[in-house]
Chain A
Amino acid sequence: MKVATIWIGVVMMLAACQPKQQEAVVLPEETTSIDLSALGKAKLSEYNFFDGPLKNLLPAAGVMPYSLNSPLFSDYAFKKRFVKIPSGAKVKFSADDVLDFPEGTVIIKNFYYPEDFRKPEGACRILETRLLIREKGAWNTLPYIWNEEQTEAFLDVAGKTIPVSWTHYDGSVRTVDYSVPNINQCKGCHLRGDKIFPIGPSARQLNGSLNHNKTLPNQLVQWADMNLLDGLPPISQVQKLASYEDDREPVEKRARAWLEVNCAHCHREDGPAKTSGLHLLASVTDRFKLGIGKPPVAAGKGSGGLLYGIVPGKPDESILQFRISSTHPGIMMPELGRKLVHKEGVELVRQWISQLN
């Protein structure tokens, strides 16, 4: 008995003194409710953007669908975009920036996953609807999160993580913990200087047909014809951002378009990542600003042990390639809006860097 007790004691001592990884005990959050009525309407349906059941996203009169030549990657989520321009008001053309939308404009962006990506018109799950509303000369961001029943979306400023699964284009089942941003994270991308602006609807992005459907008119021409857009020059003179998905375009144009839409909302002279000195608008020509032979500034682990942003001809020695290929929160770029790697985009950038000299 005594021997056994000592033996057990020794074993316990040894076991207890292993440097063990203590599993942290994390208690769940108690639900609290904070009044958000000062920020916006509580329910998406209150805006009357859509006719019929909300989940069909059928635009009501005065709500116009639009699409972009090159959209931001958001964990493979599909997006349906609409804009509501107050009747009688007009958008002002801008050659290389986002269009100048009138007071009262609402930009509506819905994020959803078809159950089967090969049948995008089939059953879908809508996760969130983000509104950009122009009031008193300033833009405001309002995120609405859809319920599971898909009957309503509710204003929620603190964001949410929603597990999603779908059948991918290749037939494989994919999953992601989709992250709805909190209202400050919206600003993380939409801030220019200290003001919020839309990112997508520039003339360069809208210069094309809705959803790349060639049987439909050019969106800018259509808006001008509908008397909604002022100052549109002849369409042949309007800049056009390449579609990175269009493999008939040169690799450089596609890769630079991909970098612009995924990176340049921050990585520009007046964006939140100006501190890095890396600028990725498709119009940038200065090689150092573009990252070529540029050492990192405050990258930390993000450098991946590599010395320069871009090493021409050597994607595997380029920090940019490393960071867009990562999903570590402290390394990955962009910092927000994805949990997955955009395989196709990463491959495109790789081709471009390989060709650089």
Chain B
Amino acid sequence: MNYRFVVLAGFAMACSKPNEAPKTWQTIEKSLQTQLITITDGDTLDLPEGNFMFTKNLTMDGKSNVLIRGKGMDKTILSFKNQTEGAEGLHISNGKNIVLQDFSIEDSKGDNLKVNDTKGITIRRVRSMWTGEPKNENGAYALYPVLCKNVIIEESVAIGSSDAGIYVGQSDSVIIRNNLAYWNVAGIESENSKWVEIYGNEAYDNTGGILVFDLPGLTTYGHSTRVYRNNVHDNNHENFATKGNVVASIPPGTGFMLLATHNLELTDNDIANNKTIGVGIISYELVAALTAGETAADVPGGAATVVNNYKQDSLYNPYPYQISVHQNRFSNSHWFPSLDSDIGKLFLTESFLNPPDIAYDGIPNPERQDAEICIHEDEKTVIMHLDAANNFKSLSKDHKLFDCAGVKIEIRS
């Protein structure tokens, strides 16, 4: 018997899994940055196959009709693990008709891919991730277009964001389709954006699957969103966002969260095993109250001096309205909601062993009699009207409270 052979075999078996060969990283930092500066409008920049390490952010500004193309998300890897400078990995700004496709971005100290003030941005088959376990030290956004017009994000993958994986903010005319998002706090988030379609995506193992938010004090407000044919399941990950960010208040086990938005249709989605809530429809009042509550508890003399001043934005409407939720497929194998949040604890007592599929906070807008929150789902769907404004006194599970015609969203093309 050759003992050395046995030892070697044991060695190989014991270590075949965790012990991958160390990657060798090439450096193309200066040449690639120079190309991003000198590229002529209308040209294509081909990223080679290989693993590339960067110490600074890469930036491209003011270019038109440029295609940046790798050899595939498994073949062209841009890593910012050694980054010492810059608040994002790749940053595109003030562009027109920019296409980014077929590469991976990893481990930026800030956001992995940020695009701002760009008319026409397509992100296709880009994988953006923080490697390793999901953790608070990870950057905030994996794919982050903000203040853009005509945005397409498709067939891309977002993993490990400590805020939102695919995050479109303050943008106009947006398509988010056929993407995959997991291990993020929020899988996909559309914020203060208008004319948005979110379809064909799969979001799982996030804290919250898909969020549509409208927040105060920004350059623009959102409206008109269609959310359909998404598969949003098992979003039960603990919330690892940094406190203070709005997503830090997402209860683990959230499928969809619709916050202070209007003119939205949510239909034909598969919503499964999100243990706290399938679809939450809430106002910014509730978010402000929840965070102010935390402050009062955490900070000596807190709430009296610390106030969310959002009402100074007099144009902002904190209440959701004209929301139509219909013909989705709900299932939930969990008997208990996540108890990491007050809302989870509320569901535990108010809907014992059967967390709600849909809940609306029911905080009325003093300036709008009918919020037009219209829901049509089959009978066994648990729908809750929380009456949060009155300390949940008139909490109800009566479907009739939501029996209205509902809006049908036509997205301009």
Which A residues form the contact surface with B (CB < 8 A)? 2, 5-6, 8-9, 12-13, 16-17, 19, 22-29, 32, 34, 36, 38-39, 157-159, 161, 177, 179, 182-185, 187-188, 191, 194, 272, 274-275, 277, 286-289, 292-308, 311-314, 317, 319, 328-330, 332, 335-336, 339
Contact = CB atoms under 8 A, between A and B. Distances in A.
A26 B306 contact: no
Which 7 A-B residue pairings sit nearest by Cβ, starting from the closest? Answer: A300-B140, A9-B7, A293-B309, A303-B244, A330-B110, A184-B59, A288-B312
B86 A335 contact: yes
Given A288-B310, A300-B111, A194 B117 contact: yes
Contacts of B59: 182, 184-185, 188
A328 B217 CA distance: 26
Contacts of B24: 25, 27
Given A26-B27, A161-B56, A184-B61, 19 more contacts: A17-B14, A34-B35, A38-B38, A158-B31, A182-B37, A184-B36, A188-B93, A272-B116, A274-B219, A275-B219, A277-B216, A297-B215, A297-B218, A298-B167, A302-B242, A307-B294, A307-B306, A311-B305, A339-B84
B157 interface: no
A267 to B, nearest CB: 13
A157 B61 CA distance: 13
Contacts of B309: 287-288, 292-294
28 contacts: A6-B7, A9-B10, A12-B11, A13-B15, A27-B26, A34-B31, A39-B38, A157-B37, A157-B38, A158-B30, A161-B85, A187-B93, A191-B93, A194-B94, A275-B218, A277-B219, A287-B309, A292-B309, A293-B306, A293-B308, A295-B244, A300-B162, A300-B245, A313-B305, A329-B110, A330-B139, A336-B85, A339-B85
A29 B20 CA distance: 25
B310 A295 contact: yes
A286 to B, nearest CB: 7
B108 interface: yes
B81 interface: yes
A32 B31 contact: yes
A25 B62 contact: no
Given A34-B34, A184-B59, A296-B244, A16 B162 contact: no
Interface-central residue, B20, B91, B163, B242, by most chain A CB under 10 Å:
B242
B4 interface: yes
B219 A286 contact: no
B147 interface: yes
Contacts of B3: 2, 5-6, 9
Contact of A330 (B6, B22, B62, B87): B87
B198 interface: no
B19 interface: yes
Size class of the contact patch on chain B? 35 or more
Contacts of B81: 24
Contacts of A9: 3, 6-8, 10-11
A184 B37 contact: yes
B60 interface: yes
Contacts of A12: 7, 11
B307 to A, nearest CB: 5
Given A24-B81, A287-B312, A330-B139, A305 B11 contact: no
A39 B39 CA distance: 12
A19 B395 CA distance: 50
Contact of A319 (B18, B36, B162, B244): B244
B291 A307 contact: yes
Contacts of A300: 110-111, 139-141, 162-163, 242, 245
B305 A314 contact: yes
B295 A307 contact: yes
B110 A24 contact: no
A22 B295 contact: no
B29 interface: yes
A160 to B, nearest CB: 8
B33 A277 contact: no
Contacts of A311: 305-306
Interface-central residue, B59, B162, B219, B307, by most chain A CB under 10 Å:
B59
Nearest to A287: B309
A12 B94 CA distance: 54
B83 interface: yes
Interface-central residue, A23, A36, A335, A336, by most chain B CB under 10 Å:
A335
Interface string B234-252: 0000000011111000000
B131 to A, nearest CB: 11
Contacts of A158: 29-31, 33-34, 37
A304 B244 contact: yes
Contact of B146 (A19, A183, A293, A298): A298
Nearest to B117: A194
Interface string B242-283: 111110000000000000000000000000000000000000
B86 A289 contact: no
B18 A17 contact: yes
A328 B108 CA distance: 12
Given A183-B37, A191-B94, A275-B147, A23 B22 contact: yes
Contact of A308 (B25, B36, B55, B306): B306
A330 B109 contact: yes
Nearest to A13: B14
B28 interface: yes
A76 to B, nearest CB: 17
Contacts of B93: 184, 187-188, 191, 272
B23 interface: yes
A88 B243 CA distance: 58
A306 B305 contact: no
Contacts of A296: 244-245
